[in-house]
Amino acid sequence: MKILRVIIMALTFLMTLPALVWAEEAVEAATPAIDSGDTAFILISAAMVLFMTPGLALFYGGMSRKKNVLNSIMTSFIAMGIISIQWAIFGYSLAFGPDVGHIIGNLDWLGLNGVGVEANPDYSTTIPHQAFMIFQMVFAIITPAIIAGSVAERMRFPAYLIFIVAWATFVYDPVAHWVWGVGGWLRNLGALDFAGGTVVHIISGVSALVAALVIGKRKGHGTEPMIPHNVPMTVLGAAILWFGWFGFNAGSSLAAGSLATIAFINTHLATAAAMMSWVIVEWLRYGKPTVLGAASGAIAGLVAITPACGFVGPMSAIIIGLVGGSVCFVAVAIVKAKFGYDDSLDAFGVHGVGGTWGALATGLFASKAVNELGNDGAFFGNPGQMVPQLIAIAACYAIAIVGTFVILKVINVFTKLRATDEEQDIGLDFTQHGEDAYADTVSGVPFGAGV
């Protein structure tokens, strides 16, 4: 009976939404003209960014063991369901709604109330407001899914679901407002972040590290072999991410034109450079250029260039990529082993570290000659740009650490975060989802492998 009442209440609420939207639309008057080219570009970009999430699913799925591949895929894929709804009902309003104290949006745009198909003078002068909203939605979807990489193979699925909704609400939405929302304090401060290095990568990467520490290591970490079960799957996922990232970065210019082209080229060059840099460093250290390393390096480059892609020149992008690939390799291969934390699929090592480097690099390499709307960086005569960059990084670390820690501790009161040792032995595919990915499921590691 209780459930029935909740359903009826929800339906009633949903049915009133269209009325609210129409009421608001009638009030809006003379708005700028919609540009069909820009609109086409942003809608396609949004679709490309959405496609990154299943790309991430394959990227992570290939790196997990056979018995956990479905769970790894599901942690990304389910975000396309649950976060889409969260975003439409209140997430978008919290992130981009009218400013409250430079910290968060208010609830005026609840249920997309007032978010129409006209242009919005603040966010989308040449495209429908809803196009901007859906473009931002696909960012909100992939960001919490990134965190799943650090807690892969051990986090219970129900706890994960609650976590990403809470995290999207209390961490992502506010930070998106700080950086991108009109009135947001980091935006006012002049911190440069073109496509989401802080909002997407730093906060997801840092939260991933916190989650890995709170939930603890996988059973058998360090004593059992934990080898990627399908590297081709990971490479396919990386390739899809690379493709989708053009929508992510170039699309962030919100117009089809020269700035989108600059971001597109920089995205590609930095990724190419980072792939080469990771492979070469790895080759020198371990004697072989691995395919997993090439895929990982590419992602590190994509992450590193994200905040800078619309503010720097192409040669700067190559340098950002070269450094990004090496720095992330060191974080993943050396630092992680040294500290012994179990960031299963290196969400922190790639997104946290790469995102931090990218935010710093934006402050170093930004140039007004490339984009007048940006600023000059430290290497172009304006060392002062490093101040807002560092403040932005520090603020993102702070909210990610505190927010993730508190959310996980609260969830832990109601439901267990961590799968039991036995559940981990059997694998999360069966224990969480009641399925097996492959017919020949055995132990989940190559026969005869040892540490």
Would you tell me which residues interact with other proteins (CB under 8 A)?
225-228, 282, 285-286, 288, 290, 292-293, 296, 329, 332-334, 336-337, 346, 446-451
Q: Closest by alpha carbon to 246, among 268, 228, 223, 226?
A: 268
Residue 421 beta carbon to other proteins: minimum distance, rounded to whole angstroms: 21
Residue 333 beta carbon to other proteins: minimum distance, rounded to whole angstroms: 2
Q: Collect all residues with Cβ–Cβ distance below 8 Å to 16 and sequence separation of at least 6.
A: none
The answer to whether the CB of 331 falls within 8 A of the CB of 280 is no
The answer to whether the CB of 360 falls within 8 A of the CB of 348 is no
Residue 225 beta carbon to other proteins: minimum distance, rounded to whole angstroms: 5
Residue 224 beta carbon to other proteins: minimum distance, rounded to whole angstroms: 10
- In the complex with other proteins, the residue whose CB is nearer, 373 or 449, is 449
Give CA–CA dist 325/256, Å, rounded.
Answer: 29
DSSP 184: -
**Range list of β-strands (E), 298-387:** none
Residue 219 beta carbon to other proteins: minimum distance, rounded to whole angstroms: 17
CB hemisphere CA count around 318 (13 angstroms) = 3
Residue 40 beta carbon to other proteins: minimum distance, rounded to whole angstroms: 39
- In the complex with other proteins, the residue whose CB is nearer, 45 or 296, is 296
- In the complex with other proteins, the residue whose CB is nearer, 19 or 337, is 337
- In the complex with other proteins, the residue whose CB is nearer, 193 or 346, is 346
Terminal Cα-to-Cα distance of the chain (whole angstroms): 54
- In the complex with other proteins, the residue whose CB is nearer, 163 or 329, is 329
| Residue reference for tokens 């059992």 | 224
- In the complex with other proteins, the residue whose CB is nearer, 94 or 350, is 350
Q: Collect all residues with Cβ–Cβ distance below 8 Å to 108 and sequence separation of at least 6.
A: 93, 97, 98, 114
Helix (H, G, I), strand (E, B) or coil at 105: strand
Residue 230 beta carbon to other proteins: minimum distance, rounded to whole angstroms: 12
- In the complex with other proteins, the residue whose CB is nearer, 310 or 324, is 324
Give CA–CA dist 127/41, Å, rounded.
Answer: 10
